[in-house]
Amino acid sequence: MENAGSAPRVLTAKAAGLVGCTQCGRVHAPGVALCSRCGAAISSRDGTSVQRVWAWLFAGLVVYIPANLYPMLRTTLLGKTTDSTIFGGVVDLIHHGSYGVATIVFVASIVIPVSKFIAIAYLALSVERKVSLSAHRRHVLYEVVEFIGRWSMIDVFVVAILSSLVQLDFAAQINPGIAAVSFALSVAFTMVSAQSFDSRLIWDADGE
């Protein structure tokens, strides 16, 4: 009987003593450094992958802190200036009654980044120790993380659009705050972190 929930046993390029290209799928004999089809650097497994994942993840985490503490938007209405942070912006939107947009901003700037940190850390940990989620589930999780990362940039774009549009001198003016920079960096760093992850490691941990 086959164990429910686990994938059928398959032979990998690594187990067969061959090296597969992660760009184009071409299979090479061991010892080849560059793929003969697409020219990408190939290796059986990326040994530094998990290290790089952690490094970029921590970098992203560090810059995510000032992104939440400092103002994202600086609004001047009739000479009165107010600063609003990411969370403050969400609260303002709720007060205005725009629940839909408040949800988009809240999900894109708080829920997605935080769950991304957790998901990447979980995936990196799962390579080294046994976890309850099956390899298939973790693979889906990885694809979701890779797909969704860029959508966190929404808030940075919103700040840019508002600051270029609302420039009515005295009546109303919106300027970007310093948190926009650290937030953009945080998104970029976590994107690199997710890209550094060698997804083949997910299945290796499961197979043996």
Q: Which residues bind other proteins (CB under 8 A)?
A: 7-14, 16, 18, 20-29, 37-40, 93, 96, 98, 100-101, 104-105, 136, 139, 146, 149-151, 153-168, 171-172, 176-178, 180-181, 184, 188, 191, 195, 199-200, 202-204
State the nearest-atom distance from the C-beta of 128 to other proteins, in Å.
18
Quick one: which of 60, 182, 156, 180 has its CA closest to 114?
60
- Torsion angle defined by CA atoms of residues 180, 185, 188 and 193, in that order, rounded to the nearest 10 degrees: -140
Question: Are the C-beta atoms of 204 and 60 separated by less than 8 Å?
Answer: no
Quick one: which of 28, 74, 52 has its CA closest to 166?
74
State the nearest-atom distance from the C-beta of 7 to other proteins, in Å.
5
- The amino acid occupying position 49 is S
Q: Whole-angstrom Cα distance, residue 21 to residue 27?
A: 6
Closest CB to other proteins among residues 85, 199:
199
Closest CB to other proteins among residues 61, 108:
108
* Cα 115–chain centre separation: 9
Q: Whole-angstrom Cα distance, residue 92 to residue 96?
A: 6
State the nearest-atom distance from the C-beta of 129 to other proteins, in Å.
20
State the nearest-atom distance from the C-beta of 130 to other proteins, in Å.
18
State the nearest-atom distance from the C-beta of 81 to other proteins, in Å.
14
Closest CB to other proteins among residues 55, 176:
176
Closest CB to other proteins among residues 61, 109:
109
